[in-house]
Amino acid sequence: MRIVSNAVSHTFARKLAAHDVTVAEWVILREMYSQKGITAPSAVADITGLSRGAVSKLIDRLLGKGLVTRAESVSDRRYQDIQLTSKATKLIPKLAKIADENDASFFSHLSMNEKNLLLEILIQLAEHHKLKINPID
């Protein structure tokens, strides 16, 4: 199981690196994209299960890459609002396609029954071990 997991993750990381995005940054971008608008770093932390410190560091990296903007919150100056840039909103669908293609390259040979069984087993393991978030480097 570890061999397959590592291969899937490593292959995906290499494909993202070609676009100067890490897997951890992808997780943040994907969640922000699904929120469709301005959000707070604390909300991203809550959604992803990452610490606020980790999210802050990732947002700093995304700022440096021109993929997000950060502004003082209008409602409370102690808080910040973050938003995807147009560069990010154009890039995210491309990265999503890479993610889908990566999954397909590893799992498309499985029958629908095999995929469903694998998913059931993984869900059962996640529930048993109370896993609710993705571990990210």
**Structural domain contains residue 79:** yes
Q: How many domains does the chain contain in total?
A: 1
Q: What is the mean pLDDT of the chain?
A: 91
Q: Tens digits of per-residue pLDDT, 16-73?
A: 999 999 999 999 999 999 988 788 898 999 888 888 999 999 999 999 999 999 988 7
Would 116 be classed as within a structural domain? no
Please report, for residues 1, 16, 97, the alpha-carbon distance to residue 62 in angstroms, rounded to integers and kept in the order given.
32, 14, 20
CA distance 65 to 59: 10
In a domain, 72, yes or no: yes
Q: What is the domain range of residue 71? A: 2-108
Question: Residue 55 contacts by C-beta under 8 Å, 6 or more apart in sequence?
Answer: 28, 41, 42, 44, 45, 48
Question: Residue 39's CB: how many other CB atoms inside 10 A?
Answer: 19
pLDDT above 70 as % of the chain: 96
Alpha helices in 18-111 (DSSP H): 23-35, 41-48, 52-64, 86-107
Give the CATH number of the domain where residue 65 resides: 1.10.10.10
pLDDT greater than 80 at residue 132 = no
Q: Is residue 88 part of a domain?
A: yes
Residue 105 confidence (pLDDT): 96
What pLDDT sits at residue 118?
95
Tokens of 126: 């996640």
Answer yes or no: is 125 within a domain. no
Asked whether residue 121 is domain-assigned, the answer is: no
pTM of the model: 0.86
Does a structural domain hold residue 132?
no
**Is 57 domain-assigned?**
yes
- Evaluate if residue 112 carries a pLDDT over 90: yes
- What are the backbone dihedrals phi and psi of residue 20, each rounded to the nearest 5 degrees, phi first? 60, 40
Q: Is the sign of the CA dihedral 46, 100, 20, 6 positive or negative?
A: positive
